[in-house]
Chains A and B, each alone.
Chain A
Amino acid sequence: MRILVFGCGRTGAALARGMARRGHDVTVVERDPSNLQRLGHDHNCATIVGDGLDEAVLEQAGVENADAFVACTRGDNTNLMAAQLAQIRYKVPKVCVKVNDPQRSHTFTKLGMFCITPNLLTAGMMRDWLLEQEFLPVAEYNKLENGD
Chain B
Amino acid sequence: MYVVIVGGGKVGTYLTRRLLKEGKEVLLIERDRSQYKSLHDQFGDAVMWGDGCEASTQSEAGFQRADVVAAVTGEDEDNLIVCQMAKNEFGVSRTVARVNDPTHTWLFQKLGVTATVSATDVLYSLIEQEILLGKVIPLAAVKLGNMEVVEASLTSRSACIGRRVRDLNLPKKTNIVWLMRGDEGTTVDGDTEFQAGDLIVALVPVEAEAEFRSLL
Q: Would you call B115 an interface residue if the criterion is a C-beta within 8 Å of the partner chain's C-beta atoms?
A: no
Q: What is the CA–CA distance of A103 and B86 in the complex, to the nearest angstrom?
A: 13
DSSP class of B's interface residues: helix, strand, loop or mixed? helix
Q: Are A55 and B54 in contact (CB under 8 A)?
A: no
Q: Are A75 and B107 in contact (CB under 8 A)?
A: no
B78 and chain A: residue at smallest CB distance: A77
Q: Are B88 and A53 in contact (CB under 8 A)?
A: no
Q: Would you call B101 an interface residue if the criterion is a C-beta within 8 Å of the partner chain's C-beta atoms?
A: yes
Q: What is the CA–CA distance of A53 and B104 in the complex, to the nearest angstrom?
A: 9
Q: Which residues of B contact A127 (CB under 8 A)?
A: none
* Count of interface residues, chain B, beta-carbon cutoff 8 Å: 21
Q: Are B107 and A107 in contact (CB under 8 A)?
A: no
Q: Are B54 and A101 in contact (CB under 8 A)?
A: yes
Q: What is the CA–CA distance of A77 and B89 in the complex, to the nearest angstrom?
A: 16
Q: Would you call A110 an interface residue if the criterion is a C-beta within 8 Å of the partner chain's C-beta atoms?
A: yes
Q: Are A88 and B84 in contact (CB under 8 A)?
A: no
DSSP class of A's interface residues: helix, strand, loop or mixed? helix
Among the listed B54, B78, B80, B84, which residue makes an inter-chain contact with A103, where contact means beta carbons less than 8 Å apart?
Answer: B54
Q: Are A103 and B56 in contact (CB under 8 A)?
A: yes
Q: Which residues of A contact B111 (CB under 8 A)?
A: 84, 88
What is the 8 Å Cβ interface bit string for chain B, positions 181-208, against chain A (1 contact, 0 not)? Answer: 0000000000000000000000000000
Q: Are B55 and A103 in contact (CB under 8 A)?
A: yes
Q: Are A89 and B77 in contact (CB under 8 A)?
A: no
Among the listed B85, B101, B110, which residue makes an inter-chain contact with A104, where contact means beta carbons less than 8 Å apart?
Answer: B85
Q: What is the CA–CA distance of A48 and B111 in the complex, to the nearest angstrom?
A: 28
What is the 8 Å Cβ interface bit string for chain A, positions 100-137, against chain B (1 contact, 0 not)? Answer: 01011001101100000000000000000000000000
Q: Are A107 and B76 in contact (CB under 8 A)?
A: no
A-B contact pairs, 7 of them (CB 8 A): A54-B101, A76-B81, A81-B77, A81-B81, A104-B55, A107-B55, A108-B84
Q: Which residues of A contact B (CB under 8 A)?
A: 53-55, 75-78, 80-82, 84-85, 88-89, 101, 103-104, 107-108, 110-111
Q: Which residues of B contact A (CB under 8 A)?
A: 53-56, 75-78, 80-81, 84-85, 88-89, 101, 103-104, 106-107, 110-111
